[in-house]
Amino acid sequence: DVKVTQSSRYLVKRTGEKVFLECVQDMDHENMFWYRQDPGLGLRLIYFSYDVKMKEKGDIPEGYSVSREKKERFSLILESASTSQTSMYLCASSLGGSGNSPLHFGNGTRLTVT
Amino acid sequence: GQSLEQPSEVTAVEGAIVQINCTYQTSGFYGLSWYQQHDGGAPTFLSYNALDGLEETGRFSSFLSRSDSYGYLLLQELQMKDSASYFCAANMDSNYQLIWGAGTKLIIKP
């Protein structure tokens, strides 16, 4: 079974702090994604990566950056956390690029910025 | 803009059949996926339709009509464990990006 592990289940940070969310997958998948999930809005793509050191902006990249130094690890960075970034963050990976290559999600990190 | 519309909530009775609809408006379209998410859990992949017609996987089936920009997820013999949120997601021109619906919360009553 594919396992996608997010380092923290819950995080509480203060406004202005730099926040790191870590994600590791164990199936040698090429593609990794960071989403945020908010009630009534579904999942919105922040950034994705289709190869080591490659990254592409998703729909809502503002205020975020990412790092992919190794194939199995994809980090999301909030440079200066704001209360508007309080949300559930989901990491996912996939083998291929088409919809028929399903996304495998981690259990999420619920981030609260106070 | 690009969007997927699905009902916010559907209620059904244990043992019954329920259909969750999804209509989409996208600039390009490759296929429609469905994911299930239990409260507090991760979304899990259910099905993918690239061609028109019905795809069946056990108690779950998914249908696509490209000409109508419409799809649905059909759940049969509902069980209490099927209580969850269901998301449709569309592949557009890019192979890597999905556009997601807001999700349908399925409530099952005994």
For the residues A66-94, what does the mean pLDDT come to? 96
Are the beta carbons of A105 and B42 separated by less than 8 Å? yes
- Give the per-residue pLDDT at B91: 86
Decide if A105 touches B, using CB distance below 8 A. yes
- Give the per-residue pLDDT at B94: 58
- Give the per-residue pLDDT at B95: 61
Q: What is the mean pLDDT of chain B?
A: 93
User: With bands split at pLDDT 50, 70 and 90, how would you rate the model's confidence at B92?
Assistant: confident
Q: Write out pLDDT tens, residues B14-29.
A: 999 999 999 999 878 8
B35 contact partners, CB below 8 Å, separation of at least 6: A103, B43, B44, B45, B46, B86, B87, B89
Q: Which residues of B touch A95 (CB under 8 A)?
A: none
Decide if B50 touches A, using CB distance below 8 A. yes
User: With bands split at pLDDT 50, 70 and 90, how would you rate the model's confidence at B37?
Assistant: very high
Residue in chain B closest to A90 (alpha carbons) equals B42
Please give the Cα distance from A49 to B89 (Å, whole number): 19
Buried b (16+ CB within 10 A) or exposed e, B68-88: ebebbbebeebeeebbbbbbb
Residue B84 pLDDT > 70 = yes
Please give the Cα distance from B102 to B8 (Å, whole number): 7
For the residues A67-86, what does the mean pLDDT come to? 96
Decide if B7 touches A, using CB distance below 8 A. no
Q: Write out pLDDT tens, residues B45-55.
A: 999 999 999 99
Within 10 angstroms of residue A26's Cβ, the number of other Cβ atoms is 12
For the residues A60-88, what does the mean pLDDT come to? 96
Closest CA to B42 of A110, A76, A11: A110
Q: What is the mean pLDDT of chain A?
A: 92
Are the beta carbons of A40 and B102 separated by less than 8 Å? yes
Please give the Cα distance from A103 to A95 (Å, whole number): 8
- Give the per-residue pLDDT at B97: 76
E strands in chain B: 3-5, 9-13, 18-25, 31-37, 44-49, 53-57, 60-65, 70-75, 84-91, 98-100, 104-109
